[in-house]
């Protein structure tokens, strides 16, 4: 399922592909009527034709192109006070700094929570405070503030509790904080209920009364904007007279990492966060991140995909199956030896997580296949196994979603008998909204999330009722999307045109990710001359054009799915193949590689 700047409408099959290996209709992302925009972009800015088509296909015009290609904070960062309650949050935080109050930070156990907590703690340390940090245990505490943790933090002297990446719907814990006389500032981005809990400030662009238009930011982006407002307030109060102000821009590496890892749309301000944050990260100034990059065997300058596939999973590993606070502590660590040891621990935990995930995914795929055999049109898959670790159910859901192209929820059992689950959705289906509806109807004890990812806690035996509620909420929307599942393609080239300079030119329109799809290129009528399975079910293939030029490609985790089956069944056959282009720098060299996302056999005699 695809994202486009243009209405779907009636689309003509590209290369004649009406039903690919993944049952998709191939279409041009840029419809013919918009082709003049691409021509104008190429002429006005001297852009390669394919790059111009990529920009035009994402709704970027001649006047917007310079800012899109070079996103800068100075141009895109709005006044933080546009966010509801920001002035109150900055004032309360400034009071804590000036009065040298004891501040506690309550985070989340994922990358966004870890980076948000580290970013805030680093700034407060720079102002002379020593904030306490609490990251809840995924299994014993679950997501978000809980009453016992709030009591502990207040008993340890906290007069101000700041929740990051959580807290918007934490009615009972925030009631308890108020009863104990502690103030709470919430910095969050999750969907908000109509009635908010008591707090000195709740800064969340997704609260119902916020008109900032910044709902696409991750929590770390909200924290960064809060620190901009806090620094401004402290300057107004003269706090920095005679002392050095913390360097906010040095924290952009954390903002970039969490923005990518939390899979928020890479539009507007988020593009500037990632572009400038990557530049900061390449300087290796943060000891903990440098150690993590080394432990991840990252041998080149970090790119956006490294954050999502190498660094992010290792930080998450602590929250999934180990020490939930380890990621945050690593990001704040300044001793190289300590940082290296922490990074190695996270790398080991990540390897253990991968092994657990492989076994769980095998079981989940079998469950899903059984359910789809009896109901092929099932709009959402809800899976459960008592043997799954609660820390990996989101990864299980993601893998099954990739295979079956529909929303998936995976659940595990908790020690108290309740079920904890995580879901992953497809573009166009708001899973977080459906989970909030389930909570409102009593089908889930608690839950929430975003359009593309959500979590829920169910009572023992509550799977079927929860499944029925999600089908009621999402069935029609999933069916409508499935009826017109398309792969939008930015251009058609031959193997000889897949050169390093082309890949570099396409990178100029990055960073790519959620809401900013990576350019998809098709290669028509190429012969599949070889394939082999490697690693964790990856299929590597080689294609030859009519002029003899060769193209190397890889389909990740595809061996046991329809794409892998199509590749392995097409040796020596003529195919149309589509994917994204990347530079493979393994071993010190540099080769263009196609990351295969779909395939279609050429009709006999074509």
Which pLDDT belongs to residue 509?
A: 93
As a residue count, the chain comes to 606
Instruction: Taking residues 544-554, report their average pLDDT.
Output: 97
- Encode pLDDT of 294-324 as tens digits: 999 998 899 999 999 999 999 999 988 888 9
Q: Which two tokens stand for residue 73?
A: 């904070």
**Which of 148-162, 419-433, 481-495 ranks highest by mean pLDDT?**
148-162
**In sequence order, what are the residues at sequence separation of 6 or more whose Cβ sits closer than 8 angstroms to the Cβ of residue 515?**
3, 216, 264, 265, 266, 267
- Does the pLDDT of residue 589 top 80, yes or no? no
Q: Name every residue whose Cβ is closer than 8 Å to that of residue 292 and which is 6 or more positions away in sequence.
A: 311, 314, 315, 330, 339, 343, 346
Give mean pLDDT, residues 369-386.
94
Between residues 242 and 180, which one has the greater pLDDT?
180
Q: Is 552 helix (H, G, I), strand (E, B) or coil?
A: strand
Per-residue pLDDT at 2 exceeds 50: no
Bigger pLDDT: 65 vs 480: 65
- CA atoms of 190 and 193, how far apart (whole Å): 10
Band of residue 142 on the pLDDT scale cut at 50, 70, 90: confident
pLDDT greater than 80 at residue 11: no
Confidence of residue 596 (pLDDT cuts 50, 70, 90): very high
List Cα–Cα distances, 444 to 20, 141, 145, 188, in angstroms. Answer: 38, 17, 18, 22
pLDDT value of residue 1? 35
| More confident position, 604 or 542 | 542
| pLDDT range class, residue 6, cuts 50, 70, 90 | low
pLDDT in tens, 382-423: 999 999 999 999 999 999 998 888 999 999 999 889 999 999
Neighbouring residues of 380: CB distance < 8 A, sequence distance ≥ 6? 406, 407, 408, 409, 467, 470, 471, 474, 475, 478
115 burial (CB, 10 Å; 0-12 / 13-18 / 19+) is buried
- What proportion of the chain, given as a percentage, has pLDDT over 70? 97
Alpha carbon distance 249, 228 (integer Å): 10
* The pLDDT value given to residue 584: 87
- DSSP H helix total and E strand total for the chain: 21, 18
First-to-last alpha carbon distance for the chain, in angstroms, is: 28
Instruction: Give the model confidence (pLDDT) of 54-80 as tens digits.
Output: 999 999 999 999 999 999 999 999 999
Strand, coil or helix: 570:
coil
Q: Which residues pair with 453 in a beta bridge?
A: 424
Q: Do the Cβ atoms of 51 and 39 come closer than 8 Å?
A: no
- Determine the pLDDT at residue 138: 86
Quick one: average pLDDT of 195-211? 96
At 428, the pLDDT band (50, 70, 90 cuts) reads: confident
Q: Between 252-261 and 269-282, two packed helices, what is the crossing angle to 10 degrees?
A: 120
Per-residue confidence band for 4, with pLDDT thresholds at 50, 70 and 90: low
Q: Is 557 a residue whose pLDDT tops 60?
A: yes
Q: Supply 390's token pair.
A: 């609660």
Token pair of 195 as six digits: 């009635």
- From the list 298, 300, 292, 297, the residue with the least C-alpha distance to 332 is 292
CB distance 135 to 113 below 8 Å? yes
Predicted confidence band of residue 8 (pLDDT cuts 50, 70, 90): low
Contact 446, 375 (CB under 8 A): no
- Look at residue 158 and tell me whether its pLDDT is greater than 60: yes
- Nearest CA to 8 among 33, 38, 35, 29? 29
Q: What is the DSSP track for 402-429?
A: HHHSS-EEEEEE-TTS-EEEEEE--TT-
79-138 residue pLDDT tens: 999 999 999 999 999 999 999 999 999 999 999 999 999 999 999 999 999 999 999 998
Q: How confident is the model at residue 50 (pLDDT cuts 50, 70, 90)?
A: very high
Helix (H) or strand (E) holding 336: helix 336-374
In this predicted structure, what is the pLDDT of residue 565? 94
Contact 129, 122 (CB under 8 A): no
pLDDT computed for residue 10 by the predictor: 64
* 522 has a pLDDT exceeding 70: yes
More confident residue, 242 or 95: 95
Task: Tell me the residue ranges of DSSP E strands in 122-265.
Answer: 132-134, 160-164, 183-187, 201-203
């Amino acid at each position: 399922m695809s994202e486009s700047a243009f209405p779907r409408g009636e689309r003509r099959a590209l290369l004649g592909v009406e039903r690919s290996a993944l049952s998709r209709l191939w279409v041009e992302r840029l419809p013919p009527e918009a082709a003049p925009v691409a021509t104008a972009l190429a002429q006005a800015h001297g852009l390669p034709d394919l790059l111009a088509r990529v920009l035009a296909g994402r709704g970027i015009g001649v006047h917007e192109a310079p800012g899109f290609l070079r996103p800068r904070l100075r141009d895109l960062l709005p006044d933080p006070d546009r966010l509801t309650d920001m002035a109150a949050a900055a004032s309360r935080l400034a009071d804590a700094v000036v009065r040298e109050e004891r501040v506690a930070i309550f985070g989340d156990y994922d990358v966004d929570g870890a980076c948000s907590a580290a970013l805030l703690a680093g700034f407060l340390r720079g102002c002379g405070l020593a904030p306490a940090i609490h990251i809840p245990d995924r299994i014993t505490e679950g997501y978000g503030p809980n009453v016992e943790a709030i009591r502990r933090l207040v008993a340890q002297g906290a007069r101000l509790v700041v929740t990051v990446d959580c807290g918007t719907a934490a009615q009972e814990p925030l009631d308890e904080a108020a009863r104990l006389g502690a103030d709470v500032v919430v910095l969050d981005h999750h969907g908000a209920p109509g009635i908010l809990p008591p707090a000195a400030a709740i800064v969340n662009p997704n609260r119902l009364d916020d008109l900032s238009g910044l709902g696409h930011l991750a929590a770390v982006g909200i924290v960064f904007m809060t620190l901009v407002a806090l620094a401004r307030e402290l300057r107004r109060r003269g706090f920095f007279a005679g002392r050095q102000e913390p360097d906010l821009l040095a924290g952009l590496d954390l903002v970039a990492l969490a923005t990518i890892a939390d899979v928020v749309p890479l539009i507007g301000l988020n593009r500037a966060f990632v572009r400038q944050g990557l530049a900061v990260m390449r300087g290796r100034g943060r000891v903990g991140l440098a150690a993590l990059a080394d432990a991840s065997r990252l041998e080149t300058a970090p790119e956006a995909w490294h954050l999502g596939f190498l660094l992010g999973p290792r930080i998450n590993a602590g929250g999934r199956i180990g020490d939930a606070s380890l990621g945050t502590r690593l990001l704040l660590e300044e001793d190289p030896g300590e940082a290296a040891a922490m990074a190695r621990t996270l790398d080991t935990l990540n390897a253990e997580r991968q092994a657990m995930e492989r076994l769980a995914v095998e079981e989940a795929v079998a469950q899903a296949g059984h359910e789809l055999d009896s109901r092929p049109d099932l709009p959402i898959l809800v899976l459960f196994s008592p043997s799954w670790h609660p820390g990996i159910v989101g990864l299980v859901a993601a893998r099954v979603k990739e295979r079956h192209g529909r929303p998936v929820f995976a659940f595990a059992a908790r020690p108290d008998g309740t079920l904890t689950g995580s879901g992953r959705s497809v573009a166009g289906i708001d899973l977080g909204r459906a989970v909030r509806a389930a909570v409102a109807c009593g089908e889930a004890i608690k839950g929430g999330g975003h359009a593309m990812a959500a979590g829920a806690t169910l009572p023992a035996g509550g799977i079927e009722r929860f499944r029925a509620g999600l089908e009621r909420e999402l069935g029609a929307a999933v069916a409508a999307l499935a009826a017109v599942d398309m792969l939008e393609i930015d251009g058609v080239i031959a193997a000889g045109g897949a050169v390093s300079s082309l890949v570099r030119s396409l990178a100029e329109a990055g960073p790519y990710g959620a809401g900013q799809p990576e350019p998809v290129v098709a290669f028509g009528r190429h012969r599949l001359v070889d394939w082999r399975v490697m690693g964790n079910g990856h299929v590597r293939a080689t294609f030859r054009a009519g002029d003899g030029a060769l193209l190397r490609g890889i389909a990740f985790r595809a061996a046991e799915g329809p794409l892998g089956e199509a590749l392995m069944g097409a040796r020596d056959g003529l195919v149309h193949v589509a994917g994204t282009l990347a530079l493979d720098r393994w071993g010190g060299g540099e080769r263009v590689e196609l990351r295969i996302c779909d395939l279609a056999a050429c009709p006999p005699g074509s």
